[in-house]
Structure 1
Amino acid sequence: MKVLIIGGVAAGTKTAAKLKREDRSIKVTVITKDQDISYAGCGLPYYVGGFIEGRDELIVNTPQKYSGLTGVEVRTGKEAVALDAAKKEVTVKDVQTGNTEVCPYDKLVIAVGASAAELPIDGKDLPGVFKMRTPDDADGIRTYAEANNVKKAVVIGAGFIGLEAAENLHARGINVTVIDFASQILPNILDPEMAAYAKKHLLNSGIRVITGTSAEKVLGSDKVTGVKTSAGTLPCEMLIMAAGIRPNTGFLADTGIEMFKGTILVDSQMKTSLDDVYAAGDCVMVTNRITGKRQWSPMGSSANLEGRTLAQVLAGTQKTYPGVLGTGVVKLPGLNVGRTGLTEAQAKEAGYDVVTALVPTDDKAHYYPDASFFITKLIADRTTRKLLGVQVFGPGEVDKMVDIAVMGINMGAKLDDFENADFAYAPPFSTAIHPFVQAVYVLMNKIDGTIVSMTPAEYAAGAAKGYRVVDVQPEPAIRGAFYVNLGQVNGEIEGLGKDEKLLLVCAKGKRAYFLQNRMRYYGYKNTVVLEGATFFNDVKVENAEGAVSKEEETRVKALGFLKDKRTPDKFNGRVITRNGKITADEARTIAEAAELYGSGEVTMTSRLTMEIQGVPFDNIEPLREYLMQAGLETGGTGSKVRPVVSCKGTTCQYGLIDTFALSEEIHERFYHGYREVKLPHKFKIAVGGCPNNCVKPDLNDLGIIGQRVPQIDLEKCRGCKVCQIENNCPIGVAKMSDGKITIDEAACNHCGRCVGKCPFHAVEDYTNGYRIYIGGRWGKKVAQGRYLDKVFTDKDEVLAIVEKAILLFREQGITGERFADTVARIGFENVQEQLLSDDLLARKEENIKAQKHLKGGATC
């Protein structure tokens, strides 16, 4: 039997390899348009981000290696252009020569996959515009970003590929904006409230996300410079089109094969409507395993499973493919997202009596280092109690939560089947009662009436109107709420009516449930627990007045909002301006934000950030959302690397270096790149263009000053009685000595003003460089920084010193002390020696992973 397979990536190569293992006598031929086969398409974004170093790591098998391993004949560079099912022939074109040939078959497998959709807009062919579908695409993106020093990129599409592309560009230090026509990110993958949480997280991580927006035109002449969208113009130096994919099935148009929107319809044995023609992978429409309805699920995982099943069918085994669950997982900065099964909306559409629960839990024993959280949304059928779907967020292994759900759904599990599941437990891995089981308990309690709750979606839709908010946290933290100390409730609660509608809110939901249970015993009839509590929801009490709690003050301070001490509930919000420079559009946005959410006043800080004055507490989150949509962020507080301050050395007549470019690079690498790294205290960086010290680099934790080191050619010195070099030295270190000009190297501040002043060119040559000060401080205790002995001439070496200084401070500083104190304590010479070697960089990963300085010393 001759089996011809069209397509050489996941489904095609899996079908061919398994078929040869099933029956070695079958002649199997794979034809593919590309030169590569069996490449890791899902790994492409991570190659762009540098997590996968070499392109060759993306190629699972070369054609030669694959043929040797499997016995399959592979013909690359061959494109299928026509199918004659009656004659059992495929017409194939050589992509290089254009020559065609006819390939006969006994059985045909179509595994042509899909290609990135191209938006029908002007400018899409400009240099700098890319798709993300093949190794060539990923190679092009990575090469272009490096060669053009790309700083701003736009990604069109907020699905899995678009978000993975954004995350990896962000990891390269590129400012990324993601736009999507849909009203939410990950449409049809996450429910709206889950998508809103993930979008907010992306914004907080520095990735701008604009939904409900369409791209209209790519701007630029010789390369992309921006994108015109329905929300305005977005400047960029790179554009990634990730707005979906389209099956590569155009050549089948006249064959009579049954299709739907370009996808090939197959039965449970992957057979098409044509005799002896089968299909698998991203080009086929299979079924949903739960509902049995048609579903397109173009994933590398399902493509491999479909191919394996199809191979067994072709070899004569009675097998069927049961369908897909739409399982997926995506890595975002600091948050992983996983899901499987039906969303709440899909389950309702399918006719189920839907009930859900959203449950934050610890992901491992809370006392174990690196313990974090899961946010789990379970979807089930109230009548049958069958699990229908799950969506999970968390910084850690969300896949293990999803995989438990996959097995449960595959086996038709009811919630009760998970109740006493004996999952693995040890503090480094899980909680004693598994996080998945904890979520199941909540949903079971909800179905059984043990807990009466309100979902975050219901809360966001206004279901809490008319309810009185009861704060059940260990300390009062919700302004305007009625506070109840759970540990002291042993009867009726003074101030709360038994028939009053009460919304019980704590940090994650557990204490509110405990209070509801207790209040029910004491006769309270209308209590409702808010699922997700303050951990997931932005809880506000309508018309709340009075002072903001200390806990909330601390929380919003970490977001860059400092309390106005003259008021009970107003704050001044710091807007980060990247060294004091902003665009006209950004300035307009800040002014608009000040009018909409603050007092209308904006002030400059000494660190060249901008503060929006008089922001009421309830306006903080809306203000941040407004600013983040424009690519602006608040912050600049806490025991972390602070925003960089810079002089205007680029335009100043004395400027020796491009201060804006250097400070922006430091801002991206260390303010953004180290945003999650806790330090013993704040760490301030200043960049000055010359030794005039306008931004006082020597009074910062680390300062960089532009240098111009003069080089004297004594043969050209005439020993003039009136020396122009001596006259032009502003600090008087250039002197005539024994008829020749001399410059005291130890005293010279390398301002460069002497260069070119000698009419006989004795001081014409110079070396541009950087001087680095460490250990400066301004405040209650003043410490003047001391410069390292070396004058640096390589910018990359300067950036490495900055990173090593931060790492040294984190590793060897004592919580609460400033860098100046660290330098004084361990000695300048010791610090200098460490900064000039690479040992700190070698320990970087271990250093950053360490649980240190969880409470630093910065109070502003």
Structure 2
Amino acid sequence: MKVLIVGGVAAGTKTAAKLKREDRSIEVLVLTKDEDISYAGCGLPYYVGGMIASREELIVNTPQKYSGLTGVSVETGKEVIAVNAAEKTVTAQDVKSGEKTEYTYDRLVIATGASPAVLPIPGKDLLGVFKMRTPDDAVTMRSYVEEQNVKKAVVIGAGFIGLEVAENLKAKGVKVTVIDFANQLLPNIVDYEIALYIKKHLLKEGIRVITGTKGEEILGTKRVSAIRTSAGTLNCEMVVMAAGIRPNTAFLDGTGIEMFKGTIKVDSSLKTTVDDIYAVGDCAMVTNRITKEAQWSPMGSSANMEGRTLAQILAGEKKAYPGVLGTGVVKLPNLNCGRTGLTEVQAKAAGYDVITALVPTDDKAHYYPDASFFITKIIADKASHKLLGVQVLGTGAVDKMTDIAVMGINMGAVLEDFENADFAYAPPFSTAIHPFVQAVYVLLNKLNGTIVSMTPAEYLEGKAEGYKVVDVGLEPSVRGAVYVNLASVNGEIPGLEKEEKLLLVCAKGKRGYFLQNRMRYYGYKNTVVLEGSTFFNDVKAEALVEQVSAEEITRVKALGFLHDKRTPDKFNGRVITRNGKITAEEARTIAEAAEMFGSGEVTMTSRLTMEIQGVSFENIEPLREYLMQAGLETGGTGSKVRPVVSCKGTTCQYGLIDTFALSEEIHERFYHGFNTVKLPHKFKIAVGGCPNNCVKPDLNDLGIIGQKIPQISLEKCRGCKVCQIENVCPIQIAKVEDGKIAIDENLCNHCGRCVGKCPFKAIEDSITGYRVYIGGRWGKKVAQGRYLDKVFTDKNEVLDVVEKAILLFREQGITGERFADTVARLGFENVQEQLLEDGLLERKAENIAAQKHLKGGATC
């Protein structure tokens, strides 16, 4: 028998290899369009982020190695362009030469996979637009990011691939915005409330996510400069198309094979509607294991299993492919997500009477180092108690929770089957009652009425309207709620009526359940526990104006919100503007935010941040989320590197350097890069374009001033009686002495105004550089900074000096003292010597890891 397989990645190579192991006599030939076979398509984003170092690591097998291991014949660079089912022939074209070849078969397997959907929008062919399918795509993308020093990227598509690409671009230092046309990320993969939690998490991690938005045009001349979307224009240097995939099946037109939206429909033996033609992998439409309805599930895992099963069938075994659950897992920055089975929406659409529970638990013994959490949404059929699906979030092994559900669904398990499941337990691995079993317990309690609860989805829909919020946490955490100390409840609770509707809230839901149980005994009839409580939900009580606690005032100050002491609950929020320069779109967003969440007033601070006035405590998080959607952030307080200020630089007639570009680079490298590094006190940086000192670089902890150092050609000086160089020097240190122009290097401030002013070109050339001041300070106690002896001509050397100054302050400063005090105490010459050497950089890791200055000295 001759089996011809079209496609050489996961499904095709798995089918071929297993088939040869089943029956060595079968002649197996694989044709593939690519030069590579059996490559790790799912690993491509991690190559972009640098977690996978080399292209070779992505290649599971070369054609030669694969043929030697399996006995399968492989021909690469062959694109199949036609199938003649009646004649049992396939026509392939060489991708380089164009030469056509005809192949015969007894059985044909289509395993051509799928390719990223390229949106038909103007600008899609510009340099800087990428897709993610082959190793070469990943190599080209990573090279482009590194060589073009990409700072901003937009990813179109918030599915698994889009989010993985976003995470890995962020790991390369790129600011990423993800857009998706759907109203949520991971559409049809997780339910809305789970997607909303992930979206908020990504925003906090610095990845901007805009849903309900479509890309309309990619802008730029030769390279990408921006993308116009239905939500506005987003500046970027790179666009990644990850808006779904399309099956590679166009060549099958006219074959009579039944298809649905480009996917090949197959039966349980993976056979198409045409005799002797089969399909597996991302191009095939299989069935859902629960509903038995057709389902497209393009995953590398199912592609491999489909290929293995098909090989056994072709070799004569009586087997059937049972279908898929759509199981998937995705790694995000500091959060993982796993899912299997039906979502709540899908289960309802399939006709099930659905019941769900959302349960936060510890992922291992809470006292064990690195213990974290799981958030498990478990979905079941109310009548049969049959498990239908699971969605899990957590920082650790969400895959093990997902896999338990997979086995349960595969075996037709009901919830009771998990009730006393003897899962592995030891403190480093799990909790004594397994987290999955804990989630099952909550759902069983809902089914039997032991707990009456409200799901996060219901809470988002507004079903808590009319309920009084009761906070039963270890400490009060919900402003405006009635606080109840669980341990003191031994009867009726003052202030709570037995007939009124009460929403019980704690940290994760357990104490709410305990209180409900106790309140029932004492006659309270309308209590409801909020599932996930404050751990998962943004809980708000009826608005009450009350004094914000000192602890909360300190907490939100670290977010950039300073308490207006004239009010009990109003704050002014600092919006970071990267040196005072913002786009028109950002300015509109700030103005809108001020109207929506504040008093409508915006002020400027001395650090060129924009401060939204009159933000109520309840509006702080909504305001931050609104700003993050536009790529804006709040902050700029505490004992850290503060926002950088700069003058107008080259847009000023005296400007010698591009201060905006330099200060933005400092902002990214040190304001963002050191944002978690505690210092003895605040550390302020200013960048001036010339010695005019407009932004007072010499009164900051560290200042950089642009320099233009005149280069005198004495042979061209004619010693004129009226010297133009003397006349133009603003500080009058240029003098004609003994018939030649002289400039005292110790007095010259390198403003550059003399350059080009001599009619005889005595001073025509100059060197552009940077002077670095350290130890300046203004405010209650002014200190004039001193400049380092060296005038720097290399920008990167200046950036290294900035880093060394911050590291020196952290390492050798005393908690509470300003950098000026540190310099004075250590001595300027000592500090200068350290800043011009590399010892501080060599000790950086140890310095950053040290537990120092945890309190700090900054009060504003």
Does TM, normalized by the shorter one, top 0.5? yes
Aligned-pair CA distance for 1:601: 1.2
Q: In structure 1, what is the Cα distance between the partners aligned to 2:117 and 2:711?
A: 59
Other-structure match for 2:347: 347
Given residue 590 of structure 1, which amino acid in structure 2 is its aligned partner?
I
Mapped contact 1:370–1:851 kept (Cα < 8 A)? no
Other-structure match for 1:645: 645
Other-structure match for 1:301: 301
Q: In structure 1, what is the Cα distance between the partners aligned to 2:550 and 2:814?
A: 26
Aligned-pair CA distance for 1:32: 0.8
Other-structure match for 1:481: 481
Other-structure match for 1:497: 497
Other-structure match for 2:693: 693
Within 5 Å, give how 1:114-153 maps onto structure 2.
Answer: 114-153=114-153
Q: In structure 2, what is the Cα distance between the partners aligned to 1:255 and 1:386?
A: 41
Other-structure match for 2:655: 655
Other-structure match for 1:605: 605
Deviations 1:488-534 (CA, angstroms, capped at 9, x unpaired)? 33332211122221111122223322322332333322221111212
Deviations 1:340-360 (CA, angstroms, capped at 9, x unpaired)? 222111122223332222223
Given residue 655 of structure 1, which amino acid in structure 2 is its aligned partner?
G
Q: State TM-score, norm by structure 2.
A: 0.91
Within 5 Å, give how 1:11-26 maps onto structure 2.
Answer: 11-26=11-26
Given residue 650 of structure 2, which amino acid in structure 1 is its aligned partner?
T
Other-structure match for 1:446: 446
Q: In structure 1, what is the Cα distance between the partners aligned to 2:572 and 2:623?
A: 11
Other-structure match for 1:63: 63
SS in 2 for 1:650: helix
Aligned-pair CA distance for 1:801: 4.0
Q: In structure 1, what is the Cα distance between the partners aligned to 2:29 and 2:707?
A: 66
Aligned-pair CA distance for 1:822: 6.0
Deviations 1:164-202 (CA, angstroms, capped at 9, x unpaired)? 223333333334332222111111011011111222223
Mapped contact 1:173–1:669 kept (Cα < 8 A)? no
Deviations 1:10-44 (CA, angstroms, capped at 9, x unpaired)? 11122222323333333221111122222222222
Aligned-pair CA distance for 1:204: 3.0
Other-structure match for 1:584: 584
**Range moving further from structure 2, 559-568 or 102-111:** 559-568
Q: State TM-score, norm by structure 1.
A: 0.91
Q: In structure 1, what is the Cα distance between the partners aligned to 2:503 and 2:779?
A: 46
Aligned-pair CA distance for 1:456: 0.9
SS in 1 for 2:331: strand
Given residue 159 of structure 2, which amino acid in structure 1 is its aligned partner?
G
Other-structure match for 1:459: 459
Gap regions ≥5 residues in structure 1: none
Q: In structure 2, what is the Cα distance between the partners aligned to 1:486 and 1:581?
A: 52
Aligned-pair CA distance for 1:459: 0.8
Within 5 Å, give how 1:263-412 maps onto structure 2.
Answer: 263-367=263-367, 370-412=370-412
Q: In structure 1, what is the Cα distance between the partners aligned to 2:339 and 2:250?
A: 32
Aligned-pair CA distance for 1:787: 4.4
Deviations 1:55-77 (CA, angstroms, capped at 9, x unpaired)? 33333332223223332221111
Is 1:506 equivalent to 2:500 in the alignment? Answer: no
Q: Residues 674, 354 of structure 1: CA spacing in aligned structure 2 closer, same or farther, 3 A cutoff?
A: farther
Deviations 1:253-280 (CA, angstroms, capped at 9, x unpaired)? 2112222221112233322222222211
Q: In structure 1, what is the Cα distance between the partners aligned to 2:321 and 2:841?
A: 51
SS in 2 for 1:4: strand
Mapped contact 1:477–1:549 kept (Cα < 8 A)? no
Deviations 1:224-277 (CA, angstroms, capped at 9, x unpaired)? 444343334444433222221111111212112222221112233322222222
Given residue 751 of structure 2, which amino acid in structure 1 is its aligned partner?
C
Mapped contact 2:215–2:227 kept (Cα < 8 A)? yes
Q: Residues 122, 74 of structure 1: CA spacing in aligned structure 2 closer, same or farther, 3 A cutoff?
A: same
Deviations 1:340-396 (CA, angstroms, capped at 9, x unpaired)? 222111122223332222223344454555544332222223344343222222334
**Range moving further from structure 2, 461-470 or 488-497:** 488-497
Within 5 Å, give how 1:738-757 maps onto structure 2.
Answer: 745=745, 748-757=748-757
**Range moving further from structure 2, 18-27 or 595-604:** 18-27
Q: In structure 2, what is the Cα distance between the partners aligned to 1:785 and 1:435?
A: 58
Within 5 Å, give how 1:536-547 maps onto structure 2.
Answer: 536-547=536-547
Q: Residues 84, 311 of structure 1: CA spacing in aligned structure 2 closer, same or farther, 3 A cutoff?
A: same
SS in 2 for 1:750: coil
SS in 1 for 2:752: coil
Mapped contact 1:80–1:90 kept (Cα < 8 A)? yes
Q: In structure 1, what is the Cα distance between the partners aligned to 2:614 and 2:209?
A: 27
Given residue 514 of structure 1, which amino acid in structure 2 is its aligned partner?
F
Aligned-pair CA distance for 1:658: 0.7
Q: In structure 2, what is the Cα distance between the partners aligned to 1:679 and 1:364?
A: 34
Q: Residues 423, 838 of structure 1: CA spacing in aligned structure 2 closer, same or farther, 3 A cutoff?
A: farther
Within 5 Å, give how 1:811-826 maps onto structure 2.
Answer: 819=819
Deviations 1:781-837 (CA, angstroms, capped at 9, x unpaired)? 555555455433332333344445555656666666655566667776676666556
Deviations 1:302-327 (CA, angstroms, capped at 9, x unpaired)? 21222222223333344433322212
Is 1:197 equivalent to 2:197 in the alignment? Answer: yes
Aligned-pair CA distance for 1:453: 1.6
**Range moving further from structure 2, 719-728 or 752-761:** 719-728
What is the RMSD computed on CA atoms of the aligned residues? 3.2
Given residue 43 of structure 2, which amino acid in structure 1 is its aligned partner?
G
Q: Residues 819, 8 of structure 1: CA spacing in aligned structure 2 closer, same or farther, 3 A cutoff?
A: farther
Mapped contact 2:481–2:542 kept (Cα < 8 A)? no
Q: In structure 1, what is the Cα distance between the partners aligned to 2:446 and 2:610?
A: 47
Mapped contact 1:479–1:547 kept (Cα < 8 A)? no
Other-structure match for 1:34: 34
Mapped contact 1:156–1:179 kept (Cα < 8 A)? yes
Q: Residues 777, 531 of structure 1: CA spacing in aligned structure 2 closer, same or farther, 3 A cutoff?
A: farther
Given residue 486 of structure 1, which amino acid in structure 2 is its aligned partner?
L
**Range moving further from structure 2, 826-835 or 393-402:** 826-835
Deviations 1:69-119 (CA, angstroms, capped at 9, x unpaired)? 332221111111122223221111222222222111122211000112232
Q: Residues 370, 647 of structure 1: CA spacing in aligned structure 2 closer, same or farther, 3 A cutoff?
A: farther
Q: In structure 2, what is the Cα distance between the partners aligned to 1:504 and 1:579?
A: 46
Other-structure match for 1:631: 631
SS in 1 for 2:358: strand
Q: In structure 2, what is the Cα distance between the partners aligned to 1:856 and 1:429?
A: 37
Within 5 Å, give how 1:75-154 maps onto structure 2.
Answer: 75-154=75-154
Q: In structure 2, what is the Cα distance between the partners aligned to 1:438 and 1:641?
A: 44
Q: In structure 2, what is the Cα distance between the partners aligned to 1:3 and 1:434?
A: 47
Deviations 1:581-603 (CA, angstroms, capped at 9, x unpaired)? 11222222322332233222111
Other-structure match for 2:595: 595
SS in 2 for 1:282: helix
Other-structure match for 1:533: 533
Q: Residues 720, 61 of structure 1: CA spacing in aligned structure 2 closer, same or farther, 3 A cutoff?
A: farther
**Range moving further from structure 2, 252-261 or 455-464:** 252-261
Within 5 Å, give how 1:781-860 maps onto structure 2.
Answer: 782=782, 784-806=784-806, 819=819, 856-860=856-860
Q: In structure 1, what is the Cα distance between the partners aligned to 2:69 and 2:812?
A: 53
Q: Residues 684, 541 of structure 1: CA spacing in aligned structure 2 closer, same or farther, 3 A cutoff?
A: same
Given residue 528 of structure 2, which amino acid in structure 1 is its aligned partner?
V
**Range moving further from structure 2, 631-640 or 533-542:** 631-640
Other-structure match for 1:567: 567
Aligned-pair CA distance for 1:846: 7.0
**Range moving further from structure 2, 121-130 or 191-200:** 121-130
Mapped contact 2:579–2:609 kept (Cα < 8 A)? yes
Q: Residues 669, 409 of structure 1: CA spacing in aligned structure 2 closer, same or farther, 3 A cutoff?
A: farther
Q: Residues 89, 46 of structure 1: CA spacing in aligned structure 2 closer, same or farther, 3 A cutoff?
A: same
SS in 2 for 1:12: helix
Q: In structure 2, what is the Cα distance between the partners aligned to 1:437 and 1:807?
A: 48
Aligned-pair CA distance for 1:482: 1.0
**Range moving further from structure 2, 723-732 or 310-319:** 723-732
Deviations 1:696-730 (CA, angstroms, capped at 9, x unpaired)? 33443443332333444455556677766566555
**Range moving further from structure 2, 473-482 or 180-189:** 473-482
Mapped contact 1:710–1:754 kept (Cα < 8 A)? yes
Given residue 685 of structure 1, which amino acid in structure 2 is its aligned partner?
I
